[in-house]
Amino acid sequence: MTTERIAPPLTGGEREMLRAFLDFHRATLAMKCDGLSDEELRRRSMPPSTLSLLGLVRHMAEVERTWFRRVINAEDIPLVWSAEGDFQAAYDASTATRSEAFAAWQAEVGHSRRIEEAADSLEVTGYQPRWGEHVSLRLVMLHLIHEYARHNGHADFLREGIDGTVGA
């Protein structure tokens, strides 16, 4: 499977640019996982860390779910991999498979896109209980771009350690 990644436009409105950059980073994470087996996707960076490509996919499913569904949409739902709210649980992909991790992540991305597209503006807010503050959809989209960019850097190193693939 080869992921198609569309470069963000060089000009455009704020919302269009945020959408494009967020989708670009989502595709980058998927690209880093292309062509790898479940075993390779579960390969950890270095002990004692549980960080793996599959763990990153699972973590980003939690991030999408939390910020778009729980914060912006005010849905009272648990995390995907921890009913106790432990965000670290997603990183332990020791028994995970590509199919279950990607299905969960892609489902959450779909929810996120629908919520964002249905919002009247970037000024829509939701309550972030960990921060004790209301946050705008604009902040959520920027925060997710930041999360993906940071974790895609991790994914670069993980992929290089698995098969030497670098770049993009």
Residue 41 lies in a domain: yes
Residue 76 lies in a domain: yes
What pLDDT score does 1 carry?
63
Boundaries of domain holding 25: 14-163
DSSP per-residue letters across 79-143: -SS-TT--GGGGG--TT--HHHHHHHHHHHHHHHHHHHHHSS-TT-EEEETTTTEEEEHHHHHHH
Mean pLDDT of 23-30: 97
Residue 6 lies in a domain: no
pLDDT by residue (tens digit) across 96-153?
999 999 999 999 999 999 999 999 999 999 999 989 999 999 999 999 999 999 999 9
Residues 6+ positions from 166 with CB-CB distance below 8 Å: 156, 159, 160
Residue 8 lies in a domain: no
Residue 110 lies in a domain: yes
Residue 5 lies in a domain: no
Q: Is residue 59 over pLDDT 90?
A: yes
- pTM for the whole structure: 0.95
What pLDDT score does 79 carry?
96
Residue 4 lies in a domain: no
Number of domain units in the chain: 1
What pLDDT score does 153 carry?
95
Q: How confident is the model at residue 19 (pLDDT cuts 50, 70, 90)?
A: very high
CA distance 145 to 140: 9
Q: What is the CATH number of the domain that holds 57?
A: 1.20.120.450
Residue 2 lies in a domain: no
Q: Retrieve residue 84's tokens.
A: 């106790």
CA distance 105 to 25: 13
